[in-house]
Structure 1
Amino acid sequence: MNKYAIIDIGGKQLRVEQGRFYDVRHLVPIRNTLKPNEKIVINRVLLIRHGSSINLGYPWLHDAAVKGRILHGCADKKLVIQRIQSKRKTRKIFGYREDMIRFVIDSIHFGGRSLNKD
């Protein structure tokens, strides 16, 4: 719990740790090219905490990277949208599932070295 990073991915900020998996909506603009077990590197690291030291980026840390790999594609919960026009007495109900990509964090690097080997 004393080693983690906060990354900017898919328009959201995630607190990531080694060995955990996460689901994101927009990993890259071309989602269809990513295959399972493909390695990824995320350079948009906002914060790294290692023990009692905290490193902040403005806006990102330039010598930090989070390395991981794609597990598989998945779907989010179904979003149900209802459009109701009360005066016309019409109702339309439709929904969709957002495509998600599940990935696991293998290591967190800062300053040219991995923080997970300590």
Structure 2
Amino acid sequence: MTYVIIEASGRQICMKPGQFYDVNYMNAEPGDIVKFNRILLLNCNGNIELGNPCLSPLKVKAKVLKHLKGKKITVFKMKAKKNTRVKKGHRQHLTRILVQEIIRAN
């Protein structure tokens, strides 16, 4: 079981090859290959490597599958005794990626 923890779009994400993940919108077309180079941890069959802060010889190769919108979030603001109410909604733009492989560059 091999997995990595990467830092992407301000979050830490645990990624395994062959699975897909939703990250914040990336300016790439569906079908493009993207590489993540901020690898914080690598677990390869129980052997754990920690970065300080990153593992520089590693990269994660992923394919952009599609762009989508996330779950709707309702924002409601109200000021008591002022009869002021504002209701807004927001859907975050996301990019779905498929992790293809973890590359060790020398």
TM-score (structure 2 length as normaliser): 0.94
| Structure richer in helix, relative to its length | 1
Kept in 2, the 8 Å contact 1:42–1:67? The answer is: yes
Distance in 1, Cα, partners of 2:46 & 2:89: 46
More strand by share: 2
* Structural RMSD (CA): 1.1
CA contact (8 A) 2:59 2:105 kept: no
Partner of 2:94: 100
The separation in 1 between residues aligned to 2:30 and 2:16, in whole angstroms, is: 20
Matching residue of 2:23: 24
2:7–2:38 contact (8 Å) kept in structure 1: yes
Tell me the TM-score normalized by structure 1.
Answer: 0.85
Q: Which runs of 5+ in 2 are unaligned?
A: none
1:6 aligned to 2:8?
no
Please tell me the residue identity of whatever aligns with 1:19: G
Matched residue count: 106
The alpha-carbon deviation at position 26 of structure 1 amounts to 4.7
- For 1:59, the equivalent position in structure 2 comes to 53
CA–CA distance in 2 between the matches of 1:23 and 1:52? 26
Mapping 1:32-111, distance limit 5 Å? 34-111=28-105
Q: Is the 8 A contact 1:4 1:50 kept in 2?
A: yes
Runs of 4+ aligned structure 1 residues displaced above 3 Å come to none
Q: Any unmatched runs of 5+ in structure 1?
A: 113-118
Distance in 1, matches of 2:105 and 2:41, equals 13
The sequence identity of aligned pairs, in percent, is 30
> Is the contact made by 1:4 and 1:15 (CA closer than 8 Å) also made in structure 2?
yes
